[in-house]
Amino acid sequence: MIHTDFIRYLKGVGPKKEEIFNKIGIHTLDDLLHYYPFRYEDRRNFKKIKDIKENEFCVIKAKILARNLKKMPYFMRAKRVKNILEIAISDDTAVINCTWFNQGYLYDKMNISDTLIVYGKPRMYDGKLKLIAPEFEMFEEGEDSLNLGRIVGIYSATQNLGQKFIRKTISLALENLDAQTRDSLPFDVRREKKFPNIVQSFKGIHFPQSFEEAEKSRERFIFEELFFSQILVYLRKARHRSQVADSFSAGPKLIEKLKQNLKFSLTASQEKVLSEILNDLAKTYPMHRLLQGDVGCGKTVVAAFAFACAVSSGFQAAFMVPTEILAYQHRETFKSLFRGFGYRIEVLVASLAKGEIERIHKEISEGKIDIVIGTHALISDEVIFKNLRFVAIDEQHKFGVAQRALLPKKGVNPHYLIMSATPIPRSLALSLYGDLDLSVITELPLGRIVPKTMWVTEKKRQWVYDFIEEKISKGRQVYIIYPIIEENEDEDLRSLETMYDNLKSRFSKFKLGMFHGQLAPKNKLSVIDEFRKGGINILVSTTVVEVGVNVENATVMVVENPERFGLAQLHQLRGRIQRSNYEPYFILLSAEEVSEEVSQRLKALQDSNDGFKISEEDLILRGPGDFFGQMQHGLPELKIANPLRDLELLKEARAFAYKIIKSDPELHKLEHRFIRERIEALSAELKDSFSLLEEKA
């Protein structure tokens, strides 16, 4: 048996279990062995109940003395508690109560005098220690050595795949490994890092003899994940470099002329980034560059220079943005910057009349349109360019990996710029987006005033309204942001409308407008237009305005229920009001009581206006899975590594990967054959159109 075999060949894994395993992505022995425990319990010695302490995790083994299931009557189901299960357990030194909510089905499993292994953090209630919703396993007499008397790995289990079953299955898979099992991590690397070989590492991570062994094995697998992600990154980069692109001939004269059309001068940081981009555009291989910069730093204008270079060199260029509003707004920016240049600029969005879309498609294919700015309508099959050589994507995180990859395919190795307002630390960016070169705008235009961020609670609503009134009387405009997370949820929409009606009567002196994703596109445009012109004093909106809306006179923003928004998103919203020289106010109006996590988030916003710091904080608060899912640029999912926590390992992995690809760019050497195999396996899994296999084809 080799470890690419399917798990169904293992004893005890029937079709049903296999199906469940498949659901969590486990198909082969190899997948199974890479299903790591997320923590360990020391079951060499259980804690005596009499010795446990408040707030200290403990593992105890104890017998059930009594059980009680309380069903809550319907009218009392406050906080959605339907039933409460209470179990008293004892290990002869003392008794402790365990409580579970809404887990009534456990009642029948927990019989008096059964033995349980319980893991949790005791809390004090009415002077007594209690375990609230602890994790547990049923103990069975004569139990084998996998689950007891040792350090035991704890896996994320589903109802039908219990801890013990997972352990048992993994141990069977381990028995099938032998010294011949291939180790895709190169020997040199292992030797230098003093990593155990693959078989020892699997044993060490699943059934460690000591915490040190578990740690070293984990480190190896973390390193391994990062190493292969970096190999992929370097391979992709090498492939970009080997492509041939048209270089842009437009030179310094054009740039000077454009600068004369600007109302302001570029910041030093914009200048630096611009020269990095211009430098790339003169090359004969395609640019692949990520432009990062905090919201409001002026990325659009820098991108606009690149558009001009493309068009003046005789090519077409395309700009993909996440919303229609933003498409129209960028067109205005471009028109103003390109006045007197005679460029043909069109907006292509799904809401245009059918005939209009057909005309634009036709003119794009005939090469009559120089610059097309659009939403995902740009990547539809009907869009065929004559000579597209430059593409840019704004607010790239709003697009899926596959969507982003489609745009450059519309041209022949076009120069490629993607833009992001979610800055992350440089070393991280290099790794996650490693096949892209990185440009960062590090400063805001001169004269921008940092918004005053105020977190207030419901009690102060009247004060907030008075504050709004005062600011409007002074001529400013206001956003009130309302959390509709799912734009298509009717219930949410209704509550936005109710909110709007309430506000209308409270602010009867002023003009209010309502803005959300479900408005007809025409209405969306007219509302924003009206707001821009000053005809609307208060815009009651969902987060649709988060992306790109630029109304300089709107300097007050109130966010209702900020607890429902992520940190980075709140920061993006705040960026909307930092567009002029009036003092901006960002008011978070939360419920009276919020969770610790929410409180941390809102405080972080109050304390900092630095997008880099905010996104780092976001990363820590949200944890890597969520964050990187969104950030990663077509890399395999990280199961065990956390690039932020493991930054040092990441740097080392990156250095090793670099050395290998430099000496053997195609991975042809015999000693690299396992790396190649692994990369091919990883890359085939990616549905991403960047995938290596496709590029090879």
- Residue numbers at the binding site for ligand ADP (CB under 6 A): 264, 266-267, 270, 293, 295-301, 421, 445, 550, 579
What does the block give as tokens for 291? 């432009």
Residue-by-residue DSSP string for 542-555: -GGGGTT---TTEE
Strand partners, 41: 152
**222 conformational bin, left if phi > 0, alpha if psi -120 to 50, beta if neither:** alpha
DSSP conformational letter for 624: H
d(CA 399, CA 174): 41
| Residue nearest to ligand ADP as judged by C-beta position | 298
Kindly tell me the sign of the dihedral angle through the C-alpha atoms of 315, 319, 324, 328: negative
d(CA 63, CA 92): 9
Query: Residue 360 or 549: which CB sits closer to ligand ADP?
Result: 549
The CB-of-267 to ligand ADP minimum distance in angstroms stands at 5
List all residues 6 or more positions away from 490 whose beta carbon is below 8 Å from its beta carbon. Answer: none
Query: Residue 218 or 576: which CB sits closer to Mg ion?
Result: 576
d(CA 7, CA 14): 9
Query: Residue 177 or 297: which CB sits closer to ligand ADP?
Result: 297
Pairing of β 554-560 and β 538-541: unpaired
Query: Residue 429 or 653: which CB sits closer to ligand ADP?
Result: 429
Binds 153: which of ligand ADP, Mg ion, none (CB < 5-8 Å by kind): none
Binds 579: which of ligand ADP, Mg ion, none (CB < 5-8 Å by kind): ligand ADP
Binds 270: which of ligand ADP, Mg ion, none (CB < 5-8 Å by kind): ligand ADP
531-to-85, 324, 526, 554 alpha-carbon distances in Å:
55, 16, 8, 9
8 Å CB contact between 185 and 195:
yes
Query: Residue 31 or 395: which CB sits closer to ligand ADP?
Result: 395
Query: Residue 230 or 550: which CB sits closer to ligand ADP?
Result: 550
Binds 404: which of ligand ADP, Mg ion, none (CB < 5-8 Å by kind): none
* φ, ψ dihedrals at 250, nearest 5°: -60, 135
What does the block give as tokens for 247? 């270089």
The CB-of-132 to Mg ion minimum distance in angstroms stands at 46
Query: Residue 37 or 548: which CB sits closer to Mg ion?
Result: 548
Largest CA distance in the chain: 90
Binds 298: which of Mg ion, ligand ADP, none (CB < 5-8 Å by kind): ligand ADP
Binds 605: which of Mg ion, ligand ADP, none (CB < 5-8 Å by kind): none
Region 540-579 residues binding Mg ion, contact defined as CB under 5 A: 548
The CB-of-298 to ligand ADP minimum distance in angstroms stands at 3
The CB-of-417 to ligand ADP minimum distance in angstroms stands at 13
8 Å CB contact between 47 and 94:
no
Binds 550: which of Mg ion, ligand ADP, none (CB < 5-8 Å by kind): ligand ADP
The CB-of-441 to ligand ADP minimum distance in angstroms stands at 7
The CB-of-511 to ligand ADP minimum distance in angstroms stands at 24
Query: Residue 192 or 332: which CB sits closer to ligand ADP?
Result: 332
Rounded to the nearest 5 percent, the helix, strand and coil shares of the chain are: 45, 20, 35
The CB-of-542 to Mg ion minimum distance in angstroms stands at 19
Residues that bind Mg ion (CB under 5 A): 548
